[in-house]
Amino acid sequence: MKLLTFTALEITNKFIRIPKTESKLLKEQFEEAFCDIESGSYIDYKREFGYMLWDCMIGGPVVLTIEQINTNPPFTGDVYVFWDVPEMSKELHILGRDYVHKMTFKEFMLNFYSFPQETYVFNEEFQHAIVLSHEYFHEHLQNFCLYTPAEKDNWYKFC
């Protein structure tokens, strides 16, 4: 069952959209912390529409339930959110791929079901990232995957 997602207008009205230049910088920092930026998957992601950043992530995942996240949240305060699902409307896809949105982690958790799959959540410390994945790890999980930065010479890559 596919959950309803926000419209582009709802996102721009509800959350703070970071300017494009700053969004680009935040995403580059995210990618350096959580992705294998030398992989073929990453090169494809940067070059072509239709590839997902998920394919390049390292340092995880640890699959979490909503209860685990709410009991021991990986973030307090503000978080940054973006997504890269190519199957959605072009306007919504570009809004998530080209911009980062700021909100409190509590706001994200209250609204996570309305974000598209392949949504990435992190804060300015880049110590953890949560990905709302399209992968189904267990029928009772909401597909939250926790990542930590990984050293490039000693990393686990999830494929």
Is 155 contained in some domain?
Answer: no
* Mean pLDDT in residue range 126-148: 70
Host domain of residue 58: 8-147
Residue 5, pLDDT score: 67
Cβ-defined contacts of 89-93 (< 8 Å, 24+): 89/8, 91/8, 92/5, 92/6, 92/7, 92/8, 92/11, 92/116
Structure tokens at 88: 């959605």
Residue 136, pLDDT > 70, answer no
Is 83 contained in some domain?
Answer: yes
Rounded Cα distance between 4 and 40, Å, is 33
Residue 104, pLDDT score: 95
* Mean pLDDT in residue range 70-76: 88
pLDDT category of residue 58 using cuts at 50, 70 and 90: confident
Is 2 contained in some domain?
Answer: no
Is 40 contained in some domain?
Answer: yes
Amino acid identity, position 102: K
**SS3 label, residue 128:** coil
- Closest by CA position to 82, among listed 9, 17, 5, 13: 17
pTM of the model: 0.83
Is 63 contained in some domain?
Answer: yes
Highest mean pLDDT among 4-8, 21-25, 56-60: 21-25
pLDDT category of residue 127 using cuts at 50, 70 and 90: confident
Give the up-direction half-sphere exposure of residue 158: CA atoms within 13 A in the CB hemisphere: 20
Number of domains the chain is built from: 1
Is 12 contained in some domain?
Answer: yes
Is 1 contained in some domain?
Answer: no
Is 100 contained in some domain?
Answer: yes
* Mean pLDDT in residue range 66-84: 89
* Mean pLDDT in residue range 64-76: 85
